[in-house]
Structure 1
């Protein structure tokens, strides 16, 4: 692998770089949107296509995850009539350059597993967009409230083509992908190294569930009962999550022509009523605590049991930040770890 090169560019020079880059790439980054936050008067930070360096909100964590660029909240998969169908076309013909932090980029690995390695079938609607994507790493000089990326090993990545260390007047830009070299012809190299966070103030004892037997015993643990009163099953945590991929498909029949329509895929959540309801009305999980338990155990155990690559979590902290009931996901994980130890101790006593 070739060694990377780093340059220091002022804001005006970065904007010139973006102007040229936009001929080949649509550039997406976190953008501050007035209001729309969790509290009145609080802004939202959403992923949008940007035009200028000044558009990028690099001082705070984005409200929602980077995944929305690759898997939009709602997307049309194909159009149909009574006897044929046609796949939808990509709205953007250019490639995509997406700015994200190390945890965000690592979350895409999990998305890739679910959409491309799950059961040996690749989702073509995901793949066709994913293969057009390159990443620009956003350096994290300071951590955000609720981050615990170091506890799950998502604090470092090598999946990026560019890396930015942001400043008010410009940025240090590390170039890892040689396909971007020509954009920096004539620029003087700088002595700067992009860094990754190595320790979080918030440390999570991430649970390790070693067997299906332990997972089944945890389902019966009383720790889940409190969430019937605390959680309102709004799904805000899963919508904000970097790795959740639940969706629903809906056929939209055109009113002018009852034999034509389109199939849409829409982001959904295992926390929302009706998501796990089957034809005939059967439902897997009736109580809120059962929905919450399912979500947590899938993050901790279910995903790893299938792919053997660790938890379905990158420690970004967005779920806790978005919860209207102020439920702390890290504290749930710590409770789960304590529950595992309780079960092990009880088993030791029984076998003594």
Structure 2
């Protein structure tokens, strides 16, 4: 069933939801943007529908709700440790189709489908439900249609902002009582059918070509361009790498906490081993690793599609203006070059 609510009814609906759920959505943080006098749009807990930003893509992805940049795992003293507490309420998270689809990839890594269950991730995943926000296609860096992530059915209700409130299409009957007595409408959720940007992901036809591609000169151009800042991976909807860090309290050096902190394969030292050995010591090596992982290795392992949802945030965030679809196209040209030399 679908409903239409004015502003007052929308806030009343939101207030009822807050009694049961903690609600996360894209929200505006004024003057905190990348450039002076610009705003930051980031996922955070919201207290009213008025806070939710419907018409702009968030600067950072939804994954920060369920997989925070910093997360305390446990607290310790010299004699014992105590695990951090989990969520107190169920969670509703508002997101676009690409962000909701990205959570399937996060789950593949963290919740046992890849062979390991992360309890800190799992306790959040078990209580979260997604609300579909219609995508206004406000960004020219998106290519979700090419990645088949422009549609999803993993949501409890869909929502669209109107000039005076909201339209809501309920998918999960659990939410029907919240809207009892509201005016009925014929609204159904719509999805993007095209993007300004498109991408054809090349196929790597053999192990031999894959090995040659790793050594191809195409990656060397990034040695003088990429600054290895890791902004692309922090902005990525599907990157999952992390490290751990112990915080020792200044008041008591025998007590503290261990935190999980997001890490980046694009930063020097990420893969450093004993004797300071690095497998990927140049910026080009690191970009090659990331691009091939996103657009070949993940699918080769799990056979579920590529590890990219086409949100374009990596391109948006890169200070060197390295654009992901152009990079993948260069990889495709390198594959053809390798094939031609082998003929």
Name the TM tier (shorter chain): over 0.9
Number of residue pairs matched? 343
1:285 corresponds to: 280
Gaps of 5+ in 1: none
1:326 corresponds to: 321
Q: Does the aligned pair in 1 maintain the 2:314–2:324 contact within 8 Å?
A: yes
Q: Does the aligned pair in 2 maintain the 1:139–1:164 contact within 8 Å?
A: yes
Distance in 2, matches of 1:202 and 1:165, equals 24
Distance in 2, matches of 1:116 and 1:214, equals 33
Distance in 1, matches of 2:129 and 2:113, equals 23
1:30 aligns with 2:47: no
C-alpha deviation, 1:231, in angstroms? 0.6
Distance in 1, matches of 2:264 and 2:58, equals 20
2:130 corresponds to: 135
CA RMSD for the aligned pairs? Answer: 1.5
Distance in 2, matches of 1:337 and 1:262, equals 46
C-alpha deviation, 1:192, in angstroms? 1.7
The residue matched to 1:275 in structure 2 has which SS?
coil
1:11 corresponds to: 7
2:104 corresponds to: 109
Distance in 2, matches of 1:119 and 1:163, equals 30
Match of 2:67 among 61, 67, 71: 71
Distance in 1, matches of 2:255 and 2:44, equals 32
Distance in 2, matches of 1:280 and 1:28, equals 44
CA displacement, residues 35-63 of structure 1 (integer Å, 9 cap, x when unaligned)? 23233222110111111111111111000
C-alpha deviation, 1:119, in angstroms? 4.5
1:189 aligns with 2:161: no
Q: Does the aligned pair in 2 maintain the 1:116–1:123 contact within 8 Å?
A: yes
TM-score by length of 1: 0.93
Distance in 2, matches of 1:208 and 1:312, equals 14
CA displacement, residues 235-267 of structure 1 (integer Å, 9 cap, x when unaligned)? 111000000011111122334444332211001
Distance in 1, matches of 2:12 and 2:114, equals 45
C-alpha deviation, 1:175, in angstroms? 0.6
The residue matched to 2:309 in structure 1 has which SS?
coil
CA displacement, residues 156-201 of structure 1 (integer Å, 9 cap, x when unaligned)? 0010111111223112111101111110111232112211011112
TM-score by length of 2: 0.96
1:120 aligns with 2:138: no
The residue matched to 1:225 in structure 2 has which SS?
helix
Shift in CA distance, 257/197, structure 1 to aligned 2, threshold 3 Å:
same
Q: Does the aligned pair in 2 maintain the 1:215–1:301 contact within 8 Å?
A: no
1:247 corresponds to: 242
Distance in 2, matches of 1:243 and 1:305, equals 16
Q: Does the aligned pair in 2 maintain the 1:252–1:261 contact within 8 Å?
A: yes
1:95 aligns with 2:90: yes
Greater Cα offset, 48-57 or 148-157: 48-57
CA displacement, residues 53-92 of structure 1 (integer Å, 9 cap, x when unaligned)? 11111111000000001111111111223443221102x4
1:229 aligns with 2:189: no
Gaps of 5+ in 2: none
1:154 aligns with 2:154: no
1:340 aligns with 2:335: yes
Distance in 1, matches of 2:8 and 2:303, equals 46
Shift in CA distance, 167/188, structure 1 to aligned 2, threshold 3 Å:
closer
2:212 corresponds to: 217
1:43 corresponds to: 39
